[in-house]
Chains A and B, each alone.
Chain A
Amino acid sequence: MSHVETRMTLNGKEVTGHAPADTTLVRWLREQAHAYEVKEGCNEGTCGTCTVLVDGKATTGCTTLAVQVDGARVETSACLADGDELSPLQAKFWETGAAQCGFCTQGMLMSAVELLRSGEKVTPAKVREHLHGNLCRCTGYQAIVNAVVAAAEEGATR
């Protein structure tokens, strides 16, 4: 079985892995880089659970091949916190109860970070529009929307 070497910068660190060329990014991150915080929910690009940032853009981990992002800068939620201290966005999620089962949370945070970094005006409607590609089955979204709006009000970008 032929493996391909792929390198990327993951949360600021260089990582290298060897995997078949048709390995999706989410599986590469979990299996090669041990980034278990990135979850896989559907393997068809529908649920958004595997969303990470590639060169700053929200990217579906299961509909992107790892080889396609060779050399790119990849960010997962592991880059947000400062050690054990929650980032401002994570702190808001914690306060509002936006993480219940937590399975959608990593992807949700990264899509929200894309929005916060964009400089666009953040209203509840804008949050809902931007996050509609991240499905959640537990929270009903209200707490998530509240958290992102509150984080934006404080000027948070992570």
Chain B
Amino acid sequence: MTETVQHRGAETTRVVNTEVKRQDSREKLLGKTRYAGDFDIAGQLYAKLVRAPMPSARIVSKDASAAMEVPGVVAVFFGEDVPNNEIPTNTAGIKGRPQPPSWVLTTERVRYHGEPVALVVAENTRALAAAEALVDIEYEPLPVVSDPEAALEDGSPLVHEGGNLLSEWNIDRGDVDKAFADAPVVVEGSYEAQVVDHAYLEPETGIGWLDDEGVINIKVSTQEIEHYRRIAHVVGLPDSKVRVQAPYLGGGFGGKEDMTVEPYIALAVQRTGRPVKMTWTRQESLTARAKRHPVRMRYRTAATEDGKLLAHDIDIVSDAGAYPLLSGFVLLYITLNATGPYRCDNVRVRSRAAFTNNTPGSAFRGFGGMQPVLGYEAQIDKVADATGKDRVEVRKRNAYKRGDRIPAGQPIETAVWLEQCIDAVMEAIGPRPEPSSPEHRVGLGLACNVQPYGRVAWMNDSASAWVGCERDGGVVVRCGVPDVGGGQVSSLAQIAAEVLHVPVENVTVHFGDSSRTPLAGRTTATRQLYMSGNAVLSASRELRAQLIEGVAKATGCAEHELTLAEGGVLTPDGVVPLPEVVAMCMANGVAINAMKTFFAPTAKPVTQLIDSERIVPDFTFGAHAAYVEVDTRTGQVRPLRYVAAHDVGRAINPLSVRGQIEGAIVQGLGYALSERIVYDEAVNLTGAFYQYAIPTAADCPEIEVKVLESGEGVGPFNARGIGEPPIGPCASTIASAVEDAVGARPTTLPMLAERVLKCVDEGGRA
């Protein structure tokens, strides 16, 4: 089901670029893996949040006395009890607009439905539930802002004092007005995408305790162990007095990138001195957890008569919800990616994010690179149709080449294999299936995308890793990387095994501990392989050199005569087994471990008008194609066959690469067809999992993946990031296929039955 196309001249590897069955998967299959919610400590307490039942209100009074009467209740905390209740918003590089903070427990105002107001701590979960219902909070409803465009108008109620505009980003390249004035072809479109939820199967959960040294330990399902600093600030402790451990996560997708249970657990542990366990219910997670930013996008695109893009004029408004969280950065990505993988010399983009009383938006796989695909892929199809050109040819005609600059200013320095990706899917998609009845229509869709990987340059991103040898010849990697399930840890073992010439099974990885493992940054932005992978690569190479040095010193051989080989170091006289190599090092003053920090290239932060040579490390390109069948009586869209191709540079573990692509596609299909959070004046109505329609196995087609390897990426062994890119093209692929089937294209997501029926009516082919 997977075919690999390789760039000629790729270096041969032993373990990297082979299908390695992941050790963590084996343990998970055996049921041995302990997730954050699987730990219990004798004497533990339980904690639960009291959340606001309405989206906008002033808190008039708070009374915990009835709750405290419940047998087994230990404490009820409000914001006034938190040493530092204000959580500053990370605005690194976002100049100009001061960003309002978030609150651990809001004290005066409620700004979104489900916002935490109080924390109950009890001996058992029954007392907890009883007490939660008895915390008496009086609210005075305030006006509600539920639409982002309305929020930006004069006279709108304010969510925060400084105004409802959270941030704005602009791109202005070339001479857009002139290009439009002269252009023979101009096409326009409006596109809208909805709020969706991460819906990881493992809820937000953690357990905290105070250890013998007075350190608050928190074992938590999180994508960022560096939150220990924020947690320490919240409880008023030095950074070194908080330790965060991240066991294997049951899914993250960006939803566990901001803090979730951590500050509450820390507060309760600090105040009670006892272990405290907290797990959010699915229902409260759906109601109140940060989600993907919805967007309204307006595109105008100019082109020549033979389909070459001349100009884009793009306006995007996004609903950031009640608090910024990572919205400033998501909006930046929306702006950077607004025009997709096609070269265009005259581009104007205006992106604004507004505060409303809806659920805050934050990180979610794709991080702003996903929403614009709906716009730019529809627009390029319109250009093709308006000029009578083939949709494949128009894409190839306009695709970036190495050296082109994206509208934000950064040149693309690695190979662009967009054409190869398109060819791969168009060849593999196969013949058009017959419709299953006269009431059905079959259509073919194609869409491409580009997604950056690695963090924005001014973050001064770095990742550290320690690699060392055991006396018995085993290899140990220590790296803070959280593993969200995508094989993050396994890849590090593969890289170390490759460089040190040991079997992958002999590499042990200790990960995810803010005080015991070197910090590697958050697992997000498709950055882990690039960052921690490069750190492990670098440390492994240094260790390799040290092992050779040790043997050289012990044997008198010249270093250039020695190489790492299976089982140890190969000398002119044979292999010295690794345990002996270690002994030789120790006897000759050579360290048997190495630690390296990998630094991503840095640059100055961009300004609101983005024009910079260095913003992101690099990009991943891809193309998807699909057949769908549309039921012209109900509007139901059923994907029949789906093929995807991405250039991953080099696949460290093709099994993991394929898994990431297939998984992202199904999330993308959910975004395309069925997932949405429904609000009524900022009240979140989608409070149960049965109301939130993520795809089931029966809703998905067989997926075929083509892994292309150009050999050019900035990750270890020339890999590119692949966690996020494949989620981008899906909705557009399906929209394109529906258009082919019924004659009109859905422009609002999700493509619910009633919306598709309108396309059926419009297309007139039923």
| Given known A86-B30, A102-B250, A106-B31, contact A97–B25 (CB-CB < 8 A) | yes
Contact B662 A143 (CB under 8 A): yes
Q: A101-B251, A102-B250 are in contact. Are A137 and B690 (CB under 8 A)?
A: no
Interface size class of A (residues with CB under 8 A): 35 or more
- B contact residues around A105 at 8 Å (CB): 28-29
B35: chain A residues within 8 A (beta carbon): 39, 103
Taken together as a complex, chains A and B put the C-alpha atoms of A46 and B687 apart, in Å, by 13
Determine if A94 and B25 form an interchain contact, defined as CB atoms under 8 angstroms apart: yes
Chain A residue with Cβ nearest B124: A1
Question: Does B596 make an interface contact (CB < 8 A)?
Answer: no
Instruction: Report yes or no: A97 in contact with B656, Cβ–Cβ below 8 A.
Output: yes
A128 at the interface (CB under 8 A from B): yes
Choose among A77, A81, A135 the residue with the greatest number of B CB atoms under 10 Å from its CB.
A135
Closest to A145 in B: B697
- The CA of A37 and the CA of B249, in the complex, are separated in Å by 14
Instruction: Determine if B702 is an interface residue (Cβ-Cβ < 8 Å).
Output: yes
Contact present for A100 and B659 (CB under 8 Å): yes
* Interface window among B84-92, B109-117, B387-395, B479-487: B479-487
Q: Which residue in B25, B34, B688 is a CB contact (below 8 Å) of A44?
A: B688
Q: Which residues of B contact A106 (CB under 8 A)?
A: 31
- A121→B137 CA distance, assembly (Å): 58
Does B281 have its Cβ within 8 Å of any Cβ on chain A? yes
How far in angstroms is the closest Cβ of chain B from A95? 6
Known: A78-B31, A128-B700, A134-B697. A101 touches B485 (CB 8 A): yes
Instruction: Please tell me if the beta carbons of A101 and B202 are within 8 angstroms of each other in the complex.
Output: yes
Q: Contact between A36 and B38 (Cβ–Cβ < 8 Å)? A: yes
**CB within 8 Å of B: which of A106-136?**
106, 109, 124, 127-129, 131-136
CB neighbours (8 Å) of A36 from chain B are 31, 34, 38
Q: Which residue of A lies closest to B704 (CB)?
A: A142
Residue B717 is within 8 A (CB to CB) of chain A in the complex: no
Residue of B nearest to A86 (CB): B29
User: Taking the complex as formed, is A59 at the interface, i.e. its CB lies under 8 A from any CB of chain B?
Assistant: no
With A43-B282, A94-B21, A103-B251 known to touch, is A128 a contact of B698 (CB < 8 Å)?
A: yes
> A10 to B253, alpha carbons, bound, how many Å?
34
Q: Indicate whether A154 reaches chain B with its CB closer than 8 angstroms.
A: no
- Say whether B26 faces chain A, with CB atoms less than 8 Å apart: yes
User: CA A98 – CA B651 in complex, angstroms?
Assistant: 18
Residues of chain B within 8 A (CB-CB) of A17 are none
A-B pair number, CB within 8 angstroms: 168
Q: Which single residue of chain B is at the shortest CB-CB distance from A101?
A: B485
Tell me if B662 and A139 are in contact (CB < 8 A): yes
- Interface residues of chain A: helix, strand, loop or mixed (majority): loop
Query: Shortest Cβ distance from A107 into chain B, in angstroms?
Result: 9
Among B282, B661, B694, B697: residue with most chain A CB under 10 A: B697
A97 touches B22 (CB 8 A): yes
Q: Which residue of B lies closest to A77 (CB)?
A: B31
A-chain residues with CB within 8 Å of residue B32 when the two chains form the complex: 37
Residue A76 interfacial (CB < 8 Å)? yes
On whether the beta carbons of B25 and A102 are closer than 8 Å, the reply is: yes
Q: Is the CB of A140 closer than 8 A to any CB of chain B?
A: yes
Which of B202, B248, B281, B667 is most buried by chain A, counting CB atoms within 10 A of its CB?
Answer: B202
**Bitwise interface map of A from 18 to 39 toward B, beta carbon under 8 Å scored 1, else 0:** 0010000000000000001101
B residues in contact with A93, CB < 8 Å: 25, 29
- Residues of B1-20 at the interface with A, using a CB-CB cut-off of 8 Å, are 1
Bound: A100/B202 CA distance, A: 13
> Which of chain A's residues have a CB closer than 8 A to the CB of B696?
128, 131-135
- The answer to whether B662 and A140 touch across the interface, beta carbons within 8 angstroms, is yes
- Are B659 and A90 in contact, with the CB atoms below 8 A? no
Tell me the chain B residues, 440-491 only, with Cβ under 8 Å from chain A. Answer: 484-487
Report how far A45 CA is from B700 CA in the complex, Å. Answer: 21
Give the residues in chain A near B689, CB-CB below 8 Å: 41-42, 44, 46-47
Q: Give the complex CA separation of A45 and B484 in angstroms.
A: 24
**In the complex the two chains form, what is the Cα distance from A106 to B33 in whole Å?**
11
Residue of A nearest to B198 (CB): A137
Whether the Cβ atoms of B485 and A102 lie closer than 8 Å is yes
Cα distance A18–B536 when bound, in Å?
49
* Most chain B CB inside 10 Å of its own CB: which residue of A93, A103, A132, A144: A103
- Interface contact A100-B21, CB-CB below 8 Å: no
A102 vs B24: C-alpha distance when bound (angstroms): 9
Partner of A101, one of B201, B667, B700, B703: B201
Question: Which A residues touch B666, using CB under 8 A?
Answer: 139-141
Q: Can you list 20 contacts pairing A with B, beta carbon distance less than 8 Å?
A: A1-B126, A36-B34, A37-B31, A39-B202, A41-B201, A44-B282, A78-B31, A86-B26, A97-B656, A99-B29, A101-B28, A101-B251, A128-B697, A135-B696, A137-B201, A137-B667, A138-B485, A138-B663, A141-B697, A141-B700
A residues apposed to B, CB below 8 Å: 1, 20, 36-37, 39-47, 49, 76-78, 81, 84, 86, 90, 93-95, 97, 99-106, 109, 124, 127-129, 131-146
Beyond A47-B201, A76-B31, 10 extra complex contacts between A and B, CB < 8 Å: A44-B283, A77-B29, A81-B29, A97-B658, A99-B25, A128-B697, A137-B694, A142-B1, A145-B697, A146-B1
